Structure 1
């Protein structure tokens, strides 16, 4: 690929936007997560441009919180991008607000040829629907689980990764020292859910229209993590902000024995430290073995200037051959059933390990999203968890206060 093409594809804003839009060219704007700007997607975009003379794709990359801020402003101004990759939950949230284009007409025209929805995992379809309308198409289907430094554990006397909370704490303490930590937690709120889920906690009860995070189990879960940081000194204090790559960077630098992450970190670890001896373990078990499900979907805003072209690009981005190429490049896990059955996918030990956690992974906010109040409550939860983790407010004090405020939001019109 020429330097000009690389500049156009990989510089999403500023000068890159100016370079990518020639006189008389039509511009298709794509919002994307910075961590997912894989070469395989760049090549899809390049082929799309070659097949559509006169069209340029402006590929803008953000961290998720920054993208959300920008997207909300764009939607309010009725000047949104043409196609958006979202981290889960935004499809139903923005769809309920009438801000997304229903995709049913596109699916009726092209669904059979592209295998949608039949070739997608059922939950990957349902999480992007409202009633009988499709508002998004899943492009990644993921889960987070335990990743560990084999050598650091062996040096501390452990031949296998921990399987329970008690074992995890023991390993974290034993592998801490000399400027290295046993565990590096992530500041992004989704990562905290592995602890809640393993203690049998659910986010929302639709029958009572209440959140459940004031229970003894929820309090115990978040206090366990806080104590690991504050009392045991066996975990780093996560750096607040929009960059969720911090724990991966510590792990790759051989400074953290364990992290909880998903397939999105496979490529950064492999390329950042090819000599690192690391492995993927099953998720921990406390009251139950569980973890959070994740994934990225593509959606088209209702006011997009070029919805037909956005759909054409979407079809290419979710094609099976694209999925396989991204898995080979970056280790990402995918929503297609045919992807799971692919021989190359099944032969990869790292990808196979992540795939084994999918059956017990939960989409924690699935029912809460349907209330239309998920974003407000998640923001409130993030604030309360930060009080516990950073300001050492006891979970027994903070979580009931959160539940009271969250349930007031749910009870309001």
Structure 2
């Protein structure tokens, strides 16, 4: 950010997810269309990438970034804890999830550990058919009955059912993973970024990855990093050459083997080695139904302000037990006022 502001940006930059379109709107990035026209067929871009991982890096018909890895979150569970409670398979629906969470809670153990970071709440919204923003009406959709039901379900699991740990304000996102690795919670929702920490933290833990839960829909949120070439890059051709090497299939497979990360290529998901890995292969199967939750909202240029409001609203519900039916309409009114402003 400082380098862009000082007009001293690098030749190639990686962004933490969702910044390509914002920087492209500000005229800070070089269009990659000439490179894609030149090399796209040879490297399989964009056809070999999951479609939404391409769209999140475009503005109109211009490519401004290329996804280097693609992630999603899904249900991760402790096989032994579920079996001890009488379950030989992971839950597949919200109601099954509630039953398993309650049955595996006892003593110093909990059925579920929710993550306090805003992105993780989106699994529940998406599974209830909720979208963040409607471009036609220029309004957020999170005051709908479905959105209220989704976040209230999670709050009730924590406060009424006492089957989930209460998130801590300001806690880092690694908290649930650490509890899971320590054999203290039966289920968490996480992504491939936690595979290596779990495996190295407790090699004897008997755990597995399940498909995402279903309510009105089977869905989860997508994330991941993209590469972009700044407009004032001094060596754009060399930057593109490096980008091609970093997103090559053999590089992706090597990175997966080392770090357990999932990738955007369809051919990566179809690779026999990936499919043979019960953990990584399971995450890979979730990528086709993962969604980029704030893709449409990002194009307004106002999503950062609205995300902050949403985080506060969700914390009021999940941390402080405020009724979702009261909090979410207030959030929506504030968010929609921002969207309506110039």
Match of 2:73 in 1: 144
Task: Give 1:248-327 correspondences, 5 Å limit.
Answer: 248-304=177-233, 307-327=236-256
Tell me how far 1:411 sits from its aligned partner: 1.2
Match of 1:245 in 2: 174
Classify the secondary structure of the residue corresponding to 1:275: coil
The normalised TM-score by structure 1 is 0.78
* Separation of aligned partners in 1, 2:311 and 2:154: 15
Tell me how far 1:222 sits from its aligned partner: 0.7
Query: Which residue, out of 327, 333, 350, partners 2:262?
Result: 333
Task: Give 1:14-29 correspondences, 5 Å limit.
Answer: none
2:30 is equivalent to residue 106 of structure 1: no
* Separation of aligned partners in 2, 1:232 and 1:214: 24
Match of 1:83 in 2: 12
Classify the secondary structure of the residue corresponding to 1:146: strand
Native 8 Å contact 1:150 1:278 kept in 2: yes
Match of 2:338 in 1: 409
RMSD: 1.9
Cα 1:239–1:82 shift into 2, 3 Å: farther
* Separation of aligned partners in 1, 2:330 and 2:290: 28
Native 8 Å contact 2:12 2:229 kept in 1: yes
Classify the secondary structure of the residue corresponding to 2:326: helix
Match of 2:322 in 1: 393
Task: Give 1:161-310 correspondences, 5 Å limit.
Answer: 161-241=90-170, 243-304=172-233, 307-310=236-239
Note the alpha carbon deviations across 1:185-214, whole angstroms, 9 max, x for none.
112211101101111211111221111100
* Separation of aligned partners in 1, 2:13 and 2:317: 33
Classify the secondary structure of the residue corresponding to 1:259: strand
Match of 1:366 in 2: 295
2:61 is equivalent to residue 120 of structure 1: no
Classify the secondary structure of the residue corresponding to 1:119: coil
Note the alpha carbon deviations across 1:94-121, whole angstroms, 9 max, x for none.
2112222222233344434433223222
Classify the secondary structure of the residue corresponding to 1:191: helix
* Separation of aligned partners in 2, 1:78 and 1:384: 37
* Separation of aligned partners in 2, 1:198 and 1:391: 24
Structure 2 segments unaligned to the other structure (5+ residues): none
* Separation of aligned partners in 1, 2:51 and 2:288: 12
* Separation of aligned partners in 2, 1:264 and 1:402: 31
* Separation of aligned partners in 2, 1:402 and 1:408: 10
* Separation of aligned partners in 1, 2:247 and 2:42: 12
Match of 1:96 in 2: 25
Note the alpha carbon deviations across 1:299-324, whole angstroms, 9 max, x for none.
23334555444333322221111100
Classify the secondary structure of the residue corresponding to 1:391: coil
Task: Give 1:128-139 correspondences, 5 Å limit.
Answer: 128-139=57-68
Tell me how far 1:370 sits from its aligned partner: 1.9
Classify the secondary structure of the residue corresponding to 1:140: coil
* Separation of aligned partners in 2, 1:309 and 1:241: 41
Native 8 Å contact 2:221 2:290 kept in 1: yes
Query: Which residue, out of 331, 344, 347, partners 2:273?
Result: 344
Native 8 Å contact 1:239 1:246 kept in 2: no
Classify the secondary structure of the residue corresponding to 2:35: helix
Q: What number of residue pairs does the alignment pair up?
A: 342
The normalised TM-score by structure 2 is 0.93
* Separation of aligned partners in 2, 1:398 and 1:181: 27
* Separation of aligned partners in 2, 1:180 and 1:364: 32
Worse-superposed segment, 339-348 or 250-259: 339-348
Match of 1:54 in 2: none
Cα 1:81–1:244 shift into 2, 3 Å: farther
Structure with the bigger RCO (C-alpha within 8 Å, sep 6+) is 2
Worse-superposed segment, 144-153 or 392-401: 392-401
